[in-house]
Structure 1
Amino acid sequence: MAGAEQPPRPNGAEEAAGPWKSCEERPLGPGPASSPQIISMNELQELSDEIFRLSTVHEIVLNGDFKMHMVNFPSHSLENRVKETLHKAFWDRLKEQISASPPDYTQAIQLLQEIKEALLLLLLPQNNQLRSQIEEVLDLELIRQEAEHGALDIHGLSMSILGTMAMLCAPFRDEEVQGLQSLTDPAELLREIFRVLDLMKMDMLNFTIQSLRPHLQECYVQYEREKFQKILDKLPNSLDNTTEWLRRAAAAEVSASSLWLQSHPAASSSSDARFQEAASSSTTVPSVMSVLNRGYMDLLCWEPGQSEYPETLFLDQARLQEVQAQVNQLSIIAAVLLVTSGVCGSTLFDSPGFIARLKRVTKALLEGLSSIRYEEALQDISDQVLQEVSRTLSQLGYPAFASDKCTSLKGQIKSIADEGNAVQHVIKQRIHLFLSLFISPDGQNSQKDFPKGLDAIQEELQEVGRRFRSVTYHNRQVFGPFYSAILKKVLFPEAEPDSGRDSF
């Protein structure tokens, strides 16, 4: 992310709302289908700016560790070579000008002016005394007069600048600022001052972001919803992927309800009117919450190229894909542990540190791999698990496994990645059930509800659940009205707008 970019202002939501004071006073979600519109370059730039502001606020609110960073190109990239070449030419030219006889201070004075502006930007409103000091020391008119008479002391000015920087910088920059005092070459000293000033500006920006976060969290739902609606107004039919995602989830919910009714024939013949009503409603019109929960769970099985990601989740796609990867990894770890436990027995499996060592080895060999490469990783995992088993047996004074038992253990571990593997299927089913309860607003996630066979990954799975719930909760809060509008069209395509069929 570009270091020079500023965080969005919280009051930007007022601009985004247009003639409406709040999005509750206007129709939400996709409007009626319209013919394609041609967007001008100015409109495209405005749209790009809106998306950037929206994504920045979204990241600040959801990511407690969010920070802006300087742009650093890879060392061997063309961009980095061009940048270094231009920078070297610039600073070499400055050195030549200062070393000339008589010295040419034109470029140096311009740099001093930029340093002055940077220092003033770092000041807080109440720093009046320091502002006056900077204005006095870096009086550009006086500096120009000194340069004309050959009396300009670049080094002396630089030392004064470093003193001001030492007062303004964050404590962890003190050593870096002090280290510049040993530089004697004026051009090199100015260059390093600029480098550290850029870091200080980034520190101030990140401090501002941290200060803004509590205020943004108070109004982020309204802000993000209005910004998204503003973008939506400029891009007709731009919720097609979201609509298709919800349509598939709704169809799956209806299908699941129908299967439930078929497996519970007593529901249709029961004399209990309340039971009949509940059974009927559950098999005809799914609730918004149930459709959304199924949709969110479907994202954990999203395959590359399967279809376009829902637009309403685009800003969280990376987070959700990380959750998906962690779920896949945890399912492999849990399956490896379950298979090993079945072969080795509780005596070996309950020995101190054994489970932790197996988890550590398995996780290390899966780290950074996509699920399509798990098959090759499981070969190495089976070797490492067998080594750990043999080592632990020896330490406990038990005889080594027979060769057929070793072969069986390795074979069962390697087969975990096979399509249709029963152990993997059951593990993943339990993980998904746990997560579906975890993200449900009324779900219960007490210790007694934790799925059997997953105790070894309980801590990791609960952390994944918290991340998943954070994203889905935020998404529901912001896009709930959009989802309701879409699902009305999906579930009641022939209903009138005021039919009152919004109780789902």
Structure 2
Amino acid sequence: MSKENPNKSPSWEDGRGDPDKARNSAESPEPLDQSLRKRIRQNTPSPHRGSTPQSSPPKFVSVEELMETAKGVTNMALAHEIVLNGGFRVTPSQPLEGSLEKRVKDIVHKAFWDCLEAQLAEDPPSYDHAIRLLGEIKETLLSFLLPGHGRLRQRIEEALDLPLIQQQAENRALDMGKVAAFVIETMGQLCAPSRDQDIHKLRDITAIIPLFKAILSVMDKMKIDMANFAVSSIRPHLMQQSVEYERKKFQEFLDKQPNSMDFTQKWLQDTANALLNGDWEGGASSAGASAPIPSMLHPLVVHNHAYLHLLKWDHTFCPFPETLLMDQRRFQEMQWEVEELAVVAAVLLIVYNNAGAAISGLPQLMERLKGTMRVLLAEMHSPSFSVDEAFATIAEQMCEEVRGSLAQHGFSPFSADRQAVLRGQICALKLLDNSIRKLIDSRIQTYLLGFLESSQRGSPTALPGGLAPVQKELEEVAIKFSRLVNYNKLVFAPHYQRILQDVLREGGHLALGPALAGERDS
């Protein structure tokens, strides 16, 4: 980050290794923290949502304890986000245009700069506002320093010695241009390489007020850079410690709210019941869709199927398991992507069955058809999405592409009757109970379950028939899904193991076997 010592890592002592201090090192991370709090509030199940399972007796705690617990959960959410989201970035806060916050901010800033300009225009100039501004700039520069920046710290302290600057101002010896030049030089030493152009532009500004406005603007960008540098630096350390940290924080929350795993227990109980009753949604199982109804189940089998069920979740009416609330959005986005890929694969299966072998050797056509559909299905889960219109458009586009490709390569024309059949079969896919759509969906579920199990065994997963056109996209989803599931298992394995053993033992269906991942380390 720093050009003076690029290999120096931030330490926990100066606050750059602490996610809370990294978050507070710039003005912008505040909305991030608010968004995480909002996500937790939105996803936390209310006793009035859905059918609430039997709760443990309420335990009364003080407001102070609840506030402390809420803070711990927020910190846990931030650490969780940093660990699982490789693209996690702190971004600047921008008030909405026309909002009260934006108007107040603009008024306050304008008042400050107008006052500063008026003071500097006096004869003799008044430097009260200017010295306060230099004090803020000094503190910001010092906040960018790492422990190894001893000499640079000393230079900043000497060059921006506020009592000395005050004396120079009283004796009319203060040169604001010289002070600004030192500030710009120091910023150039501390900024990321991506800010070099911004620093260069500062040197071209000669008017004092515009210059200091620009200096503060670039400093705000440097704060964001520093916060993101801190995030990337602490990620490896968080990866090592986050499992124990999240487990500890959740246990603290559970101690104060004993009924905080009711929906998690219901999620696992419902999955076990579905497997034992043979009414598992999608028909996916490690033994295949036609496997006999089991009389004994191992907790790991139930657990894997439970995660697969999250990709079929009704997020509107069914409370999400408490242990997974921080990842509900991730699971929902994967669910949407899986549903989109199922439609794409089903359409392509129909197209290639109707068009025959003539187009099977045209890989560019396959990619073009797939790309067209993904564009048309991009808003598939938005309220404004028109199912009838989208599938009619897809059907027309597929006919057009196939007709053009057959003509281009000298094959027999794609007759009007065959086009009508193709349109009808594609439009029928808009129904969730369409047999082809259900078949493809079941195969995707089987593949994802197999991928999850193979990641635990270390063996490859076979791709079911009909999924080859979306193999790459499906593998990407499977990797994200497996990574998220395995991390969650590590964190909450003791709780899951206890719940699953109780559920299966109670009905006499517990099969002995290895513990869940992470249980042995708890």
- Give the shorter-chain TM-score range: 0.7 to 0.9
1:301 is aligned to 2:323: no
Give 1:355 deviation, angstroms. Answer: 0.3
1:97 is aligned to 2:119: yes
CA-based RMSD of the aligned residues comes to 3.0
**1:34 matched to which residue of 2?**
57
Q: Which among 66, 74, 86 is matched to residue 108 of structure 2?
A: 86
1:239 is aligned to 2:253: no
**2:429 matched to which residue of 1?**
416
Sort the Cα spacing of 1:223 and 1:160 in 2 relative to 1 into closer, same or farther, 3 A: same
Q: Which among 417, 422, 429 is matched to residue 442 of structure 2?
A: 429
1:446 is aligned to 2:460: yes
Give 1:488 deviation, angstroms. Answer: 3.9
2: distance between equivalents of 1:197 and 1:48? 32
1:291 is aligned to 2:302: yes
**2:337 matched to which residue of 1?**
326
**2:389 matched to which residue of 1?**
376
2: distance between equivalents of 1:377 and 1:214? 44
CA contact (8 A) 1:325 1:371 kept: no
2: distance between equivalents of 1:257 and 1:397? 49
Indicate the SS of the match to 1:184: coil
Give 1:178 deviation, angstroms. Answer: 1.4
Any residues of structure 2 matched to 1:99-118 within 5 Å, and which?
99-118=121-140
Sort the Cα spacing of 1:185 and 1:345 in 2 relative to 1 into closer, same or farther, 3 A: same
The one-letter code sitting in structure 2 at the alignment partner of 1:283 is S
2: distance between equivalents of 1:371 and 1:407? 29
Give 1:168 deviation, angstroms. Answer: 0.5
**1:198 matched to which residue of 2?**
220
Deviations 1:138-158 (A, max 9, x none): 011111111222332222211
With structure 1 as the length reference, what TM-score do the two structures score?
0.83
The runs of 4+ residues in structure 1 deviating greater than 6 Å are 501-504
**1:464 matched to which residue of 2?**
477
1:338 is aligned to 2:349: yes
Q: Which among 293, 311, 318 is matched to residue 322 of structure 2?
A: 311
CA contact (8 A) 2:268 2:500 kept: yes
Deviations 1:118-153 (A, max 9, x none): 111111111111111111110111111112223322
**1:209 matched to which residue of 2?**
231
**2:164 matched to which residue of 1?**
142
Indicate the SS of the match to 2:87: coil
Indicate the SS of the match to 1:397: coil
CA contact (8 A) 2:299 2:501 kept: no
The one-letter code sitting in structure 2 at the alignment partner of 1:308 is P
Give 1:398 deviation, angstroms. Answer: 2.9
Sort the Cα spacing of 1:83 and 1:376 in 2 relative to 1 into closer, same or farther, 3 A: farther
Give 1:394 deviation, angstroms. Answer: 2.1
**2:36 matched to which residue of 1?**
none
2: distance between equivalents of 1:97 and 1:255? 82
2: distance between equivalents of 1:401 and 1:122? 67
Structure with more of its chain in helix, by fraction: 1
Sort the Cα spacing of 1:163 and 1:9 in 2 relative to 1 into closer, same or farther, 3 A: closer
Identity of aligned residues (%): 38
Unpaired stretches in structure 1, ≥5 consecutive residues? 11-31, 265-278, 496-500
**1:71 matched to which residue of 2?**
93
Sort the Cα spacing of 1:376 and 1:232 in 2 relative to 1 into closer, same or farther, 3 A: farther
Q: Which among 353, 364, 368 is matched to residue 353 of structure 1?
A: 364
Deviations 1:305-362 (A, max 9, x none): 2311111111111111111111011001101100101111121232241101001100
2: distance between equivalents of 1:242 and 1:283? 23
Give 1:489 deviation, angstroms. Answer: 4.0
Q: How many pairs are equivalent?
A: 456
CA contact (8 A) 2:308 2:445 kept: yes
1: distance between equivalents of 2:144 and 2:363? 55
Give 1:9 deviation, angstroms. Answer: 8.3
1:183 is aligned to 2:205: yes
CA contact (8 A) 1:8 1:57 kept: no
Sort the Cα spacing of 1:6 and 1:77 in 2 relative to 1 into closer, same or farther, 3 A: farther
Sort the Cα spacing of 1:216 and 1:5 in 2 relative to 1 into closer, same or farther, 3 A: closer
CA contact (8 A) 2:188 2:196 kept: yes
The one-letter code sitting in structure 1 at the alignment partner of 2:346 is A
**1:397 matched to which residue of 2?**
410
Give 1:399 deviation, angstroms. Answer: 4.2
2: distance between equivalents of 1:80 and 1:391? 54
2: distance between equivalents of 1:254 and 1:464? 28
2: distance between equivalents of 1:39 and 1:493? 36
**2:419 matched to which residue of 1?**
406
1: distance between equivalents of 2:364 and 2:125? 71
Deviations 1:255-299 (A, max 9, x none): 2399x9xxx9xxxxxxxxxxxxxx99x514x22211211111111
Which shows bigger deviation, 66-75 or 132-141?
66-75
Give 1:112 deviation, angstroms. Answer: 0.8
Deviations 1:243-264 (A, max 9, x none): 1111111211222399x9xxx9
Which shows bigger deviation, 431-440 or 63-72?
63-72
**1:7 matched to which residue of 2?**
19
Deviations 1:448-502 (A, max 9, x none): x11111111111111100000010000100001011222344344699xxxxx99
Sort the Cα spacing of 1:403 and 1:434 in 2 relative to 1 into closer, same or farther, 3 A: same
The one-letter code sitting in structure 2 at the alignment partner of 1:244 is K
Deviations 1:417-454 (A, max 9, x none): 2131011000000000000111125457636x111111
2: distance between equivalents of 1:491 and 1:176? 63
2: distance between equivalents of 1:54 and 1:293? 25
Unpaired stretches in structure 2, ≥5 consecutive residues? 1-15, 23-54, 516-522
Which shows bigger deviation, 247-256 or 121-130?
247-256
Deviations 1:230-253 (A, max 9, x none): 122222311121111111112112
2: distance between equivalents of 1:96 and 1:412? 75
Sort the Cα spacing of 1:9 and 1:143 in 2 relative to 1 into closer, same or farther, 3 A: closer
